[in-house]
Amino acid sequence: QQDNESEDVFSVPNYACQRRTTLQNHNTVLTEALSILAENAELNEEDGRGIAFRRAEAVLKALPRAVRKLTELKGLPCLGEHSLRIIKDILEKGVSSEVEATKQSERYKALKLLTGIFGVGAKTADRWITMGIYNLQQLQSSGPTLNQAQQAGLEHYEDLNQPVTRAEADHIGEIVRRVVLCVLPGAQLTLIGGFRRGKPTGHDVDFLITHPEEGREVGLLPKVVSLLKSQGFLLYQKTTKNSYLESEDRPTQPSSNMDRFERCFSIFRLKSHQESAEVRGNGSESRPKSWRAVRVDLVVSPISQFAFALLGWTGSKLFERELRRWAGHEKAMSLSSHALYDTKQNSYLRAASEEEIFAHLDLEYIPPSERNA
Ligand code: CTP
Ligand code: MN
Ligand code: MN
Ligand code: MN
């Protein structure tokens, strides 16, 4: 009996960074439902609830087959009462009324639409909803003050809400690499974020830039940005200087993922590949737009911090959060995108590769394609 029972019960490790999570999973109806509730909590700035649903979602993503009955989930970590209730409803009735009601709710729809504008976060969206703004038309007509990012976001709303393809990411990579090498020969450009995890599409394209000689990367980004701008590739950009000091590093909130690298959040003007053919055959009326706007993030790291930056910017967001929670709670270490600090030895642990960081943390190495928690 005991053997029978254990065969039917799932088991997964507690932390997402101990699990191999591929892009595909066997429980998408359940994970998509929990993802809606997580997103709704995040949009309402209920961070604790958001994390709880994300963790539950990630546990289901890691299961080796579809869940058939609730009892199989006995003993799994991170499945709270609320998540279990959602799973139960879906297993029994095919849908969760709470999830369906959330998807239909005017507030959820408005928060999603408004935060879909680049530069608009949950706080701003909430303030606008309080002013009676639920859609883009109402936003245009009631005209609250928009900062430059939001103006650009609104102007390119449609383009920026179209998924970016891998081919587009690679095309942008070629453009950025050419400019980076022109400014600093020997510099290295790495595709990070969701595309490094193997996602076929993304909401933006993320790149990490470094140079094998420490210090050579200083001052690089403003030059790259101004060259890209002069060549007509940037519709918007905001560059932030590096503010990292090792002595100050000890992240006081190990759960926060803010880092201090020099970075640029931008909107790229990407020419369509099929442009010439389409425009040629089309005369003057209603010619298709020959370019599209794409969100691009550039981050610069000194080579000594490169492995940490690479690990920290590859994601997924939950995987990162779980790595930091593991480091803090299980190892008395503090992990950031800059460094790993051992609070018992009072020292920084150096690493030249992601593999070395996992080893310092006593974790089995998980490749990017299996960090899709
Ligand atoms: N990140 C970060 N600091 C920020 C923004 C993002 O460290 N200020 C990290 C995130 O934790 C994530 C990675 O950078 O690990 C990429 O973030 P993002 O582009 O938002 O997400 P993706 O996983 O790339 O997903 P998408 O395909 O939607 O872009
Ligand atoms: Mn991304
Ligand atoms: Mn990004
Ligand atoms: Mn994601």
pLDDT one-digit tens code per residue, 69-120: 999 999 999 999 999 999 999 999 999 999 999 999 999 999 999 999 999 9
Residue of minimum CA distance from atom 23 in ligand 1: 194
Counting ligands in written order, the one closest to the CA of 263 is 1
Q: Ligand 2: distance of its center to the CA of 193 in Å?
A: 5
Q: Is 297 a catalytic residue?
A: yes
Q: For residue 190, what is the enclosing H or E element?
A: strand 188-192
* Catalytic residue chosen out of the listed positions 204, 249, 259, 342: 204
Q: How far apart are CA 71 and CA 143, in angstroms?
A: 53
Of 93, 91, 64, 63, which Cα lies nearest the Cα of 77? 63
Residue of minimum CA distance from atom 12 in ligand 1: 315
Q: Ligand 3: distance of its center to the CA of 166 in Å?
A: 14
Counting atoms of ligand 1 from 1, which one is nearest the CA of 199? 27
Residue 295 · residue 268 · CB < 8 Å? yes
Q: Which residues of 50-69 are buried (b: 16+ CB within 10 A; e: fewer)?
A: bbbbbbbbbbbbbbeeebee
Q: Please report the pLDDT score of residue 255 as a whole number.
A: 43
Q: How far apart are CA 238 and CA 223, in angstroms?
A: 13
Q: Please report the pLDDT score of residue 279 as a whole number.
A: 53
Q: How far apart are CA 314 and CA 193, in angstroms?
A: 4
Residue of minimum CA distance from atom 25 in ligand 1: 194
Q: Please report the pLDDT score of residue 250 as a whole number.
A: 56
Counting atoms of ligand 1 from 1, which one is nearest the CA of 314? 15
Q: Please report the pLDDT score of residue 273 as a whole number.
A: 74
Residue 214 · residue 302 · CB < 8 Å? yes
Name every protein residue with a CB atom under 6 angstroms from any ligand 1 atom: 193-194, 199, 202-204, 206, 257, 259, 312-317, 320, 337
Q: Please report the pLDDT score of residue 109 as a whole number.
A: 98
Q: How far apart are CA 169 and CA 368, in angstroms?
A: 17
Q: Ligand 1: distance of its center to the CA of 204 in Å?
A: 9
Q: Is 159 a catalytic residue?
A: no
| Most ligand 1 atoms within 8 A of CB, residue of 268, 313, 338 to mutate | 313
Q: Ligand 4: distance of its center to the CA of 62 in Å?
A: 15
Q: How far apart are CA 211 and CA 203, in angstroms?
A: 27
For the whole model, what pTM was predicted?
Answer: 0.93
Tokens of 148: 């430059």
Q: Please report the pLDDT score of residue 3 as a whole number.
A: 46
- Which residues are bridge partners to 300 per DSSP? 209, 262
Residue of minimum CA distance from atom 20 in ligand 1: 193
How far is C-alpha 373 from the chain's CA centre?
11
DSSP class of 91: H
Q: Please report the pLDDT score of residue 252 as a whole number.
A: 46
Q: What is the ipTM of this complex?
A: 0.94
Of 305, 151, 318, 355, which Cα lies nearest the Cα of 236? 151
Kindly report the CA angle at 27 between 26 and 28, in degrees rounded to 5?
A: 105
Q: Ligand 3: distance of its center to the CA of 296 in Å?
A: 7
Q: Is 206 a catalytic residue?
A: yes
Residue 294 · residue 202 · CB < 8 Å? no
Q: Ligand 1: distance of its center to the CA of 315 in Å?
A: 6
pLDDT tens digit at each of 373 positions of the chain: 444 445 678 999 999 999 999 999 999 999 999 999 999 999 999 999 999 999 999 999 999 999 999 999 999 999 999 999 999 999 999 999 999 999 999 999 999 999 999 999 999 999 999 999 999 999 999 888 999 999 999 999 999 999 999 999 999 999 999 999 999 999 999 999 999 999 999 999 999 999 999 999 999 999 999 999 999 999 999 999 887 776 665 554 444 567 888 999 999 999 987 645 555 555 566 778 899 999 999 999 999 999 999 999 999 999 999 999 999 999 999 999 999 999 999 999 999 999 999 999 999 999 999 999 9
Q: What contacts 121, CB < 8 A, 6 or more positions away?
A: 115
* Catalytic residue chosen out of the listed positions 206, 259, 342, 362: 206
